Amino acid sequence: MADLSTNIAGVPLPNVFFNASGVWCQHEHELQALLESQSGSLITKSATFEPREGNPSPRYLPIPNGSINSMGLPNEGYEYYLNYARKFDYSHTKPLFISLSGLSLADNVKMVEAFVAADLPCMLEINFSCPNVPGKPQLGYDIEAMDNALATLAPLVKKPFGIKLPPYFDIAHFDQVAGVCQKYDNLAFLTCVNSVGNGLAIDFETETALIKPKDGFGGLGGAMILNTALANVNAFHRRLPGKQVIGVGGVTSGKEAFLHILAGASAVQIGTQLKEEGPALFERLNKELSDIMMAKGYNSIEDFRGKVKTL
């Protein structure tokens, strides 16, 4: 096996792979399955201040080349994940990431304060990009509001932390978001990308939207978003040399993970493919990435990370 180990904000991971928040991580039994898998880490479902049931079903479906979802932030409420983080065995080789997605800045402040007070060695990934709560635009597409949120949250968190960003599609937006991120020293990593928001999947025979919430509009994930994800990983990797990028989007095999790392990713999260294949996926991905690295003569992730060539 090649060495697939990495680190995020100085915290070691035995390999680069873990779940994308939202997949296999709402309940303790799912988190336990991730712990028992060959993932390199695990992250919890984005938490809100209060528990939420989320949107009506059907709210996730695999579609050709990917998936569509409008889950609507179903989660057990932040105290559930705080309790899980308190009980977590930190002597385990895998670090624990906690995703927070307050419905307001005030909620994010209260949740961050609770985690800071608990003083646990888990890492926070604050979700600025949930596309599926009716009436709540994504913070990641309001750059001023994101700057304002970071100005409040970064000093509160104190420790290194990360944010989950939506995909951007314009060079000016890459520049503006990188400019905001650059202002916050303890913003250590950017997780790129959340689902491509507000796609619409329609059944040809029944002429009906495939998912129920929001008239069928939902976030797109899986193979169809690989190139958008790679561009976002690379755009922020190039602009923010002092920060790390966690790549997510379109990884179905070791090959796409290799491409994410070439683009600059320091770790790789899996959403749609984990949902479809289950946690046994991680064993396959480790083997496939290792085989690619050995065939190409790379011994470690740092041998090729960020080294994509351009013409």
Contact flag: residue 219 with ligand RRO (CB under 6 A): yes
d(CA 237, CA 305): 10
d(CA 21, CA 269): 8
Least separation in angstroms between CB 241 and ligand RRO: 27
Least separation in angstroms between CB 79 and ligand RRO: 18
Q: Which two tokens stand for residue 209?
A: 């939207």
d(CA 175, CA 38): 36
What is the chain's percent helix, strand, coil content, to nearest 5? 40, 25, 40
Q: Binding segment for ligand RRO among 23-31, 124-132, 235-243, 261-269 (CB under 6 A)?
A: 124-132
What backbone torsions phi and psi does residue 278 show, to the nearest 5 degrees?
85, 170
- Which of 16, 17, 22, 157 touches ligand RRO by CB under 6 A? 22
Window 50-69: residues binding ligand RRO (CB under 6 A): 69
For ligand RRO, give the closer residue by CB, 145 or 308. 145
Q: Which of 120, 101, 122 is nearest to 45 (CA)?
A: 101
E strand or H helix that includes residue 202: strand 202-203
Among candidate residues 25, 122, 130, 192, the one labeled active-site is: 130
Site string for ligand RRO, 137-176 (x = CB under 6 A): ----------------------------------------
Which residues, in sequence order, are CB contacts of 45 under 8 Å at separation 6+?
A: 21, 22, 25, 26, 74, 75, 76, 81, 99
Window 81-110: residues binding ligand RRO (CB under 6 A): 101
Least separation in angstroms between CB 132 and ligand RRO: 3
Least separation in angstroms between CB 73 and ligand RRO: 4
For ligand RRO, give the closer residue by CB, 14 or 167. 167
Contact flag: residue 42 with ligand RRO (CB under 6 A): no
- Secondary structure of 211-252 in the HEC alphabet? CCHHHHEEEEECHHHHHHHHHHHHHHHHHCCCCEEEEECCCC
Q: Binding segment for ligand RRO among 114-122, 130-138, 284-292, 297-305 (CB under 6 A)?
A: 130-138
Least separation in angstroms between CB 70 and ligand RRO: 6
Q: Binding segment for ligand RRO among 27-35, 116-124, 129-137, 254-262 (CB under 6 A)?
A: 129-137
What backbone torsions phi and psi does residue 301 show, to the nearest 5 degrees?
-60, -40
d(CA 137, CA 188): 25
For ligand RRO, give the closer residue by CB, 14 or 197. 197
Tally DSSP H helices, then E strands, for the chain.
9, 16
- Which of 41, 108, 132, 272 touches ligand RRO by CB under 6 A? 132
- Which of 71, 188, 231, 268 touches ligand RRO by CB under 6 A? 71
Q: Say whether 122 is catalytic.
A: no
Contact flag: residue 194 with ligand RRO (CB under 6 A): yes
Least separation in angstroms between CB 103 and ligand RRO: 10
d(CA 262, CA 303): 10
- Which of 6, 38, 195, 273 touches ligand RRO by CB under 6 A? 195
- Secondary structure of 89-122 in the HEC alphabet? CCCCCCCEEEEECCCCHHHHHHHHHHHHHHCCCC
Active site residues per annotation: 130
Contact residues for ligand RRO (CB under 6 A)?
A: 22, 46, 69-73, 101, 127, 129-132, 194-195, 219
